Structure 1
Amino acid sequence: MNSWLGRRFEVSVGAVAHGGHCVARHEGRVVFVRHTLPGEHVVVKVTEDRGGSFCRGDAVAVLAPSPDRVPAPCPVAAPGGCGGCDWQHASWAAQRALKADVVAEQLRRLAGVTWPVEVEELPGGPLRWRTRARLTVDSAGRPGFRAHRSHRVVPVTDCPISAYGTVDAVADRTWPAGAALTVSVDALADTHVAVDGEGGGVAVERAARREWRVSADGFWQAHPDAADVYAEVVEGWTGLEAGESAWDLYAGVGLFASVLAEQVGPTGTVMAVESFRPAAVEAAENLADLKQVRVLAGKVEAVLRAAEGPDPAVVVLDPPRKGAGREVVEAIAARTSRRVVYIACDPAALARDVATFRSEGFTLEKLRAFDAFPMTHHVECVALFTRS
């Protein structure tokens, strides 16, 4: 079959799919189309074709627009432009509805669970929320973002979804070609810039009634309200009592471990596990006043295989985008934990782990989804599992 790369043709657009695109069909093949919305009739330009049953493309002309279509607030959020935002051409309400459809579809297809999903707003609106951004410098020394599924750098002078003090603080300067920039603005409104992982100092953040010190290029939630919201959900769902034990897996700098420590009190225990050693060091420093917390650095799978002490009454886990995986879920299920609170940044990974938890005797009891990444296809979910 000849490659369709560069071809243009008209399609009627179908349902949204995971990844920031919609599904269309042409001459017996599936076409994953960006920059469109369900129900639209568009002209597609094929941008990637590796053969097989599908290809990828951009909507380069909209012949029949959706009523949910709006002007994109960023000039490079367009075909051939920045790959960071997926839904700038959709109203904010429509973005949340699309994300809800994706989460529900992944749960249904991968976990066999039918669940009504509503994606909740976080405060502040869909713009200027991102307090942490990663940029790449092009050959001319200009910072920018990668194009979609490409190493090509799209230079920017601003970013409408990024908070003031981030992208605008580095866009007017020339940087070493090829450098990676991590720029953040913390709770004190101080800007931190790390170049290739060096410099930037320590950011001060506030969440869960505590102050946190985090490396400028370390992990912290990009949305300024996300950490507090997730901590509140975890606190409300654990049902922990004083003197009990709990685990915080993929603990980062210790946010959820602090919540668990307050609940179990000085007579309880919390084991926090983080594989990235610098983050584990920061967790130990941030939680030094909570003597009931023990921070372990190591891969979660390996730590759980060797874990001693009482079984946790509750396990909280916030795995990376790929999810926890079968080995970790089985290790949790082998204990007598009555509840598991799972924070997920990828609907497909969540759904796969939901299926594994169900096969291990757990029931999905609650699920909340949050639009912590407006204008992008990303969505954060928090799920509660209980023993069946």
Structure 2
Amino acid sequence: MAGRRFEAEVGPVAHGGHCVARVQDRVVFVRHALPGERVVLEITEGTEGDRFWRGDAVEVLVSSPERVAAPCPYAGPGRCGGCDFQHVALPAQRDLKAAVVREQLRRVARLDVEVSVEAVPGDEDGLRWRTRQRYVDLPGGGRGMRQHRSHDVVAVDQCLLEAPAGPSYEVRGRVFEVPDGGFWQVHPGAPEALVGAVLEALDPRPGEAALDLYAGVGLFSRFLAEAVGPSGRVAAVEGDRAASALSERNCPGVLVRAGDVGGVLAGGLPPEWDRADLVVLDPPRAGAKRAVVEQVVRRGPRAVAYVACDPAALARDVAIFAEHGHRLASLRAFDLFPMTHHVECVALLVTDG
């Protein structure tokens, strides 16, 4: 089917940076389109026997009022695959992301939640925010970016998402050590936005015990430790040993454990950590999953702040929390990855007991 073209009406946005269309009773996930448009789409992946196909909108017959000219000359069908939404006005990009978060929570967790994706200071109209950028080295000294779902490379002069300066590891006057190539949020405004959202959600109190899971270099641990004070305690658990070692230096007085989060929770913490008042979960894209969620709820926290970069994984884990009596009390979403379909959420889960 690859290469065949069809005319189609574009339906709603879907998780993953595309919209849904139907061709010959087959679902097609279409990039470079907007809901309500009529387009000519070209199939990029799929055979007659597949349940769904993938495609690109290669011609727009009836355009959405939210469609704009992409600022980057390398964005579009058959070009660089790094951006999903350069053809969409920035406020509408956030509306699309909010719709995806709402749909995932409704479909997976059976929750109807109002979602508004918040802009974060630090980019320039959705550009110049990526403080760490990777290019593909080309023969002769050039560089390029990969096409969507492909190893093919498009030669580029520069990515317009690339920030003029590298990351700053200072947040609220505290400086963090980060391993070379180690994880740190790439949007300049992300650390402050997430720290603020987590602290606001948890409202940590002096004397409380807080677990920071998937703690990285201790971004949340540092501020939790300051909030609970000398009468409280914080433990940070991180699978990457280099990041975990640095979190000991970044977070004086915090108990640090390196290892698989589920394994450490199951038997790698002192007995006093069988109970915790607060928990921060900041897992990778796959989410925390059942084993970790059940280890968290077993400790009886009054509040859990779940930092999620994938709405589908978040919705799945929120549903698991609900099985154990923890309800979604609030949710904030942040546009930390403008021009792409990615969105970061901070969910607060609480018990009514």
In structure 2, what is the equivalent of residue 301 of structure 1?
262
Q: Distance in 1 between matches of 2:208 and 2:99?
A: 38
Equivalent-residue separation in structure 1 for 2:22 and 2:90 (angstroms): 27
2:2–2:43 CA contact under 8 A, matched in 1: yes
1:383 aligns with one of 333, 347, 351 = 347
RMSD (CA atoms)? 1.2
Aligned runs of 1:190-205 on 2, under 5 Å? 205=169
Residue 116 (structure 1) aligns with = 114
Structure 2 counterpart of 1:217, from 149, 174, 181: 181
Q: Which has the higher contact order (CA 8 A, sep 6+)?
A: 2
* Structure 1 letter corresponding to 2:243: A
Could you report, residue by residue, the CA deviation over 1:192-240 in whole angstroms, capped at 9, with x for unpaired residues? xxxxxxxxxxxxx111331112133111111101101110111112132
Summarize the alignment of residues 1-388 of structure 1 with structure 2, pairs less than 5 Å apart: 4-50=1-47, 51-123=49-121, 124=123, 125-165=125-165, 185-187=166-168, 205-287=169-251, 290-291=252-253, 293-306=254-267, 307-308=269-270, 309-310=272-273, 311-388=275-352
TM-score of the pair, normalised by structure 2: 0.95
Checking the alignment, whether the CA contact within 8 Å between 1:208 and 1:259 is kept in structure 2 is no
CA deviations 1:153-201 (Å, max 9, x no partner) are: 2222111111124xxxxxxxxxxxxxxxxxxx133xxxxxxxxxxxxxx
Q: Which deviates further from its counterpart, 47-56 or 35-44?
A: 47-56
Q: Displacement, 1:260?
A: 0.8
Amino acid at match of 2:287: G
Q: Match of 2:115, as an amino acid?
A: V
> Sequence identity of aligned pairs in percent?
54
Does the 8 Å contact 1:137/1:153 carry over to 2? no
CA displacement 1:278-300 (0-9 Å, x = unmatched): 1111211222xx22x01111000
Structure 1 stretch displaced more, 156-165 or 89-98: 156-165
Q: For each residue in 1:17-75, what CA deviation from the matched residue of structure 2 results, as whole angstroms up to 9, or x when unmatched?
A: 00000000011100110001001111111110153221000011111111000000111
Please list the CA deviations of residues 227-278 of structure 1 after superposition, one character each: whole Å capped at 9, or x if unmatched: 0111011111213222221100000110000111011112221110110111
Q: Please state how far the C-alpha of 1:152 moved relative to its aligned partner.
A: 1.4
Q: Which moved more, 1:241-250 or 1:46-55?
A: 46-55
Once the 2 structures are TM-superposed, how far is the Cα of residue 128 of structure 1 from its aligned partner? 0.7
Is the contact made by 1:208 and 1:232 (CA closer than 8 Å) also made in structure 2? no
**How many angstroms does 1:92 deviate by?**
0.2
Secondary structure at the aligned position of 2:177 is classed as strand
Contact 1:243 1:267 in 2 (8 A): yes
Task: For 2:260 and 2:136, locate their aligned partners in 1 and report how far apart those are by CA, in whole Å.
Answer: 29
User: Gaps (5+ residues) in structure 2?
Assistant: none
Name whichever of 129-138 and 344-353 sits farther off.
129-138
Q: Is the 1:208–1:231 Cα contact (8 Å) retained in structure 2? A: no
Please say if residues 58 and 79 of structure 1, whose CA atoms lie closer than 8 Å, have aligned partners that are also in contact: yes
Paired residues in the alignment total 346
- Unmatched runs of 5 consecutive residues or more in structure 1: 166-184, 188-204
